[in-house]
Amino acid sequence: MRNLLIITQKVDKNDQLLGFFIDWISRFAQKFDKVTVLCLEKGEFNLPPNVKIISLGKDRRVGKLKQFFTFYFLLFTLCKNYDAVFVHMNPIWVVLGGFWWRMTKKKVFFWYTSGGVTAKLKLAEKFADIIFTASKESFRLPSKKVIVTGHGIDTDLFRPTIEVKPQLLRFNLNILSIGRISPVKNYEVLIDAVKILKNRGIDVLVTMIGEAPLKKDKNYEESLKFKVKSLKLEDNFNFIGKVNHKNLPAYYQSHDLFIHLSKTGSLDKTVLEAIACEMKVLSSNDASKSFLPQNLIFNDKNSEELANKIMIFKDLEPSSSLREYVIQNHNLDNLINKIAKIINE
């Protein structure tokens, strides 16, 4: 076993988008003697004693310039405390630390799942020794360094049967959508589909879980709410905001249908979480086409097609075989075992 340095954006069990990474760190701690985690910000966590969390100060409102210098200071001072580096998602850390890690002969392992290809990602690919990704659609830069591992879903947490469920209004059809509120999530199509369903006499409620992290995303969220209001759908949409990652299974389990409209092209873990809870899903995502039956896929610009598919599938039973697919191909324990084995080699 070796010592591992992990670099990630946030360590906080209460964060909806990144709360899951606590479980990654816990499992890495079982595979390495010592784990040091550098993060932009930290919140609440409960981790094994061989894990040390160091924040660069965003949680204390430290400026970006000071965060930059702190990052390099820690790379130098912690150099003897780690043998390899695992960077989660953000390519800028691979770029900033790349030369130093080359000089000190530290191998760099990079996890990335997004459909976009940026200049920073191209530079990060040069410095990384191995790149892990969830699906072939999740890393679209050609590279011999890429290893497709699947996602890491805690299938003990995301499971079909739970005791506590959120209280819902008495609607005949309860639809769920989870993810950050951003233009790339394509929520307008869902709003138009609900209008079509309402005109057909379908009693439907959509629960929207997620926050708008950036100013442009907040503007987008306001435009969605305005569209909902202009179509007289205020009673049909419930914008919940951020939900603790550990509380998400209750929402998956208590709703009838999960709708996924992301245009990123990469494999979205929310679809896999919904399937792990044996929830019915409909998706327009490119990566979903590789494992979902064709009848569960719809055109991301066609609200009429989405409405028609909702009508077809709303009363059908979910397939337990899809949960087995997640267990076999996207199980968290299997993922960490794969990554840790490669790093330790």
Instruction: Tell me if 159 is assigned to some domain.
Output: no
Instruction: Tell me if 198 is assigned to some domain.
Output: yes
Range of the domain at 22: 3-152+331-344
Q: What's the total number of domains in the chain?
A: 2
Instruction: Tell me if 315 is assigned to some domain.
Output: yes
74 & 57 share domain: yes
We report the CATH number of the domain holding residue 106 as 3.40.50.2000
Q: Give the pairing of strands 84-88 and 146-148.
A: unpaired
> Which pLDDT does position 168 carry in this prediction?
61
Nearest CA to 244 among 38, 45, 6, 3? 45
226 & 107 share domain: no
Nearest CA to 27 among 281, 345, 334, 344? 334
51 & 110 share domain: yes
Is 57 in contact with 316 (CB distance < 8 Å)?
A: no
48 & 181 share domain: no
Residue environment code for 216-229, b if the CB has 16+ CB neighbours within 10 A, otherwise e = ebeebbeebbebbe
272 & 298 share domain: yes
Instruction: Tell me if 160 is assigned to some domain.
Output: no
Nearest CA to 153 among 11, 333, 341, 319? 333
Per-residue pLDDT of the chain (345 residues; tens, 9 = 90+): 689 999 999 999 988 889 999 999 999 999 999 999 999 999 999 999 999 999 999 999 999 999 999 999 999 999 999 999 999 999 999 999 999 999 999 999 999 998 788 999 999 999 999 999 999 889 999 999 999 999 999 999 999 875 656 666 567 899 999 988 998 888 999 999 999 999 999 989 999 999 988 889 999 999 999 999 999 999 999 999 999 988 999 999 989 999 998 877 778 899 999 999 999 999 998 888 889 999 999 988 899 999 999 999 988 888 788 999 999 999 999 999 999 999 998
143 & 112 share domain: yes
Taking the complete model, does pTM exceed 0.85, yes or no? yes
37 & 122 share domain: yes
